[in-house]
Structure 1
Amino acid sequence: MMSLRIIVVLAVLTGVTGSPGVTIRPEADPADMTAHPNSVPETVAATENFGQQEVPGEEEAEEDVMATGELNPNHYPAQRAAKVVQHYLNTHYGSPFRLFGLHSVYSGNAEDVAESGRRYQLELSVQEIISNTTGKCSAEVLFPRGEQQRSPQVQVSCEELLKINTKAQEEALFQKYKMNQSLLSAQNLPDSYGHIEPDNKPLWHLGIVASSSVMLNESTENTLYNMAQVANITQLATENEELKFDCHILLHEMVSQEIIHWKLLFTWSPPEGVKVLQMEQLPHCHHCEKPPNTN
């Protein structure tokens, strides 16, 4: 596979429609990259490039992960749990016109819950990137304990942010894509210079929302995922009322510094949102370059 030079840049995206306070355990079921949707440092305002985020040493990371009681909102335990909230919001409420990202963590608390796992209580602010609207949220994240990895369980209340109405824009885009005489396709979103053609931004946003399903599903207390690139995305023919896409995404796992490739099959329609039908982790690419300036 050809080498990919990826500029991973700061962004904070995530969006959805539905009840904000429902507990959902996801099944196997986002630069100028200055606004990379799914890439967030300690806070959105802390830096223009999440690549400047420092990764603690193994001992510090292990000690942080085991922290119990009141947490430093700027340290990894609180930040990791808060990023799970971001992925949850994108997975369940995201669209080409609603992308949520972590803005700030105000407070956090962690506790062991018998045999269930570890529960994090968070007060945070989340930004809807496209409208540049920020609102306060309360969240609870439970990382299950056990030999087999299971997805975090999330409850979140972000009532004001979830009132943002993008139905008209979504319906217009849906009809445009559905009536196109040729199926859409795009590669390298963003390219090596962090550029995305305006016509391709909705596809980039769809890739971000779909990638959040993977990041939510794979997140643990020891991970910190960001979206790096949509390597390619292709619209597939379909006869139903949903658009279907095949997508190859690259995720950056900040702790291990790995670039992880996933192949996704997902659908999108304004009423149903983005639904990931299949997700498959691809073999490690030994020839692929890591994003520059990611420390």
Structure 2
Amino acid sequence: MATGDLVPTHFPARRAAQVALHYLNTRHGSPFRVFGLQQVHKATAEDVGTGGRKYSLDFSVTDYGSSGSVLRCSADVLFPRTEKHSPPDVQLRCEGLQQISSSPEEEAFYQKHISPDSAVSALDIPDSYGYISQDMKPFWHLARVAASFIMLRESSENTEYNMAQVANVSQQETSEKQLMLKYHVLLHDFVSQEIIHWKLLSSWSPDGGVRVLETEWQPKCPHATKPPSAN
């Protein structure tokens, strides 16, 4: 693979930026805040001895939640060289990110859905026409954030993951002051064009953020025992 300056629009730079994006969403995503990659402005790559391969990036992201704001970010993404798959290591800096805090929308959403009488369940978000209702958008955003934990963990130099669809979501009863959501998500790997199914259990509150409590890969073949990254 090439070292030195990379073409920002080409796959190696975009793939590394996508990994940094997953990291950003795991740290700062919410029902009304989820980030998408807008543009890679500059990228370089270097081999770090036996430690792996490091990508240094300058890129911008868009908040596709309620604000629509654009942030300029820089990141170092290290893909380790190990016998078994290891998640990439990400060091990220974004201008203005520390100014983002919990919003009144998030608090209202939390108060509306924390009651067991308001338990939510839904199928196929978006539907076959690409439509997501306004009521379901916060749950779609939470799925994107929760799936980012999986996509970050499973990423390598040979993948580029995005979430394609929520097959189903159901709110779970809990004694904790958290929204507890069970998801079945479909992840798309741009490189292999494979759709990969995962089930996950996640929680969210305005103070606690998103946590992923359980993940379970759903194999297409009944004889498969490991997700693609473990092969």
Q: TM-score normalised to the size of structure 2?
A: 0.92
Structure 1: tracts of 5 or more residues without a match? 1-65, 287-295
The answer to whether the aligner puts 1:67 opposite 2:5 as a matched pair is no
Read off the aligned partner of 1:81 and give its amino acid letter. Answer: A
Task: Write the distance in 2 (CA, Å) between the matches of 1:76 and 1:285.
Answer: 29
For 1:143-170, what per-residue CA distance to the aligned partner results, in whole angstroms no more than 9, with x for missing partners?
A: 1111111111111111314423343221
Task: Write the distance in 2 (CA, Å) between the matches of 1:163 and 1:132.
Answer: 15
The answer to whether the aligner puts 1:127 opposite 2:62 as a matched pair is yes
The answer to whether the aligner puts 1:156 opposite 2:117 as a matched pair is no
* 3-state SS of 1:181 partner: helix
97, 111, 116: which is aligned to 2:46? 111
Read off the aligned partner of 1:112 and give its amino acid letter. Answer: D
Task: Write the distance in 2 (CA, Å) between the matches of 1:167 and 1:148.
Answer: 41
Residues 188-267 of structure 1: pairs in structure 2 closer than 5 A: 188-267=124-203
CA contact (8 A) 1:267 1:274 kept: yes
**Which residue is 1:84 aligned to?**
19
Q: TM-score normalised to the size of structure 1?
A: 0.73
RMSD between superposed Cα atoms in Å: 1.4
- 1:248 positional shift: 0.2
Q: Looking at secondary structure, tell me which structure has more strand per residue.
A: 2
CA contact (8 A) 1:248 1:263 kept: yes
* 3-state SS of 1:89 partner: helix
* Percentage identity across paired residues of the two chains: 54
Structure 2: tracts of 5 or more residues without a match? 223-231
Greater relative CO (CA pairs within 8 A, separation 6+)? 1
- 1:269 positional shift: 0.7
* 3-state SS of 1:199 partner: coil
Task: Write the distance in 2 (CA, Å) between the matches of 1:267 and 1:164.
Answer: 20
How many equivalent residue pairs?
221
Deviating above 6 A after TM superposition, structure 1's stretches of 4 or more consecutive aligned residues are none
